[in-house]
Amino acid sequence: MCHAILQDPKLYCLLLLIDEDLAAQARAAGCACGGVLHGARYPRKPRGAPRGLSEQYRSRLSFCCALCRRRTTPCSVRYLGRRVYLAAVVVLVSAMQYGLSAMRMQRLAHFLSVPRRTVERWRRWWLEQFPKTSFWKGACARFVPPLSIGALPASLLERFSGEDLQSRLIQALRFLTALSTLGGGA
């Protein structure tokens, strides 16, 4: 079941490694002004995480230019924009809501300490706001036949190949990285 995946520390270690790779790519690209980027992490208080999660999850990877002082925040598979819940939780719990009875959804939300109203708000976002984002308008053409908007994000997870749900989740999070920055339409 999905709550087992969301409680697996190995998933979060892998997501952290992916984020560190994305950050290294952003740092290597440098600032638009030509300046060198220096580390400038900022604090986060991620919700929905399993106990004992690495301290590194308490900060978002980011950089500041030595010349112009402009902040560069690389894309992330751990966070979806300014949401306080981890991206894996938002995607997987929202996907599970599509096929669960109200009682099972309530138990899942309780197990993960996510209020039911929050899950309902995520669901509305996937159905109403996500399809209107510039990211989705440009990316939806990649899927033939088209994804069922009414089944998002479950229909998105189904389209990625992988031997298990965890590998499909990671691919979906990689796909959604544009939404992790302010300009991504999240």
Q: In the prediction, which pLDDT does 27 show?
A: 95
Confirm whether 184 is domain-assigned: no
Confirm whether 147 is domain-assigned: yes
Q: In the prediction, which pLDDT does 17 show?
A: 96
Confirm whether 29 is domain-assigned: yes
Q: Does the pLDDT at position 182 exceed 80?
A: no
Confirm whether 186 is domain-assigned: no
Q: What is the DSSP string of 138-155?
A: HHGGGSSSPP-GGGTTHH
| DSSP code at position 74 | -
Q: Does the pLDDT at position 14 exceed 90?
A: yes
CB 151 within 8 A of CB 95: no
Confirm whether 144 is domain-assigned: yes
Strand-pair category, 37-39 with 71-72: unpaired
Q: Does the pLDDT at position 75 exceed 90?
A: yes
Confirm whether 113 is domain-assigned: yes
Number of domains in the chain: 1
Q: In the prediction, which pLDDT does 104 show?
A: 73
Please give the single-letter amino acid code of residue 125.
W
Tens-place pLDDT, residues 98-152: 666 677 777 777 777 888 889 889 999 999 999 999 999 999 999 999 999 999 9
Tens-place pLDDT, residues 77-106: 999 988 889 999 999 888 887 666 677 777
Percent of the chain clearing pLDDT 70 (strictly above): 94
Please give the single-letter amino acid code of residue 119.
V
- Mean pLDDT lowest for which of 37-41, 50-54, 55-59, 70-74? 50-54
Rounded to 5 degrees, what angle do the CA atoms 176, 177, 178 make? 90
* pLDDT band for position 2 (cuts 50, 70, 90): low
| DSSP code at position 58 | G
Confirm whether 130 is domain-assigned: yes
Q: In the prediction, which pLDDT does 183 show?
A: 58
What is the domain extent for residue 146? 2-179
Q: Does the pLDDT at position 185 exceed 60?
A: no
Q: Which residue has the higher pLDDT, 3 or 31?
A: 31
Over the chain, what is the mean pLDDT? 88
For residue 130, the SS3 value is helix
Q: Does the pLDDT at position 174 exceed 80?
A: yes
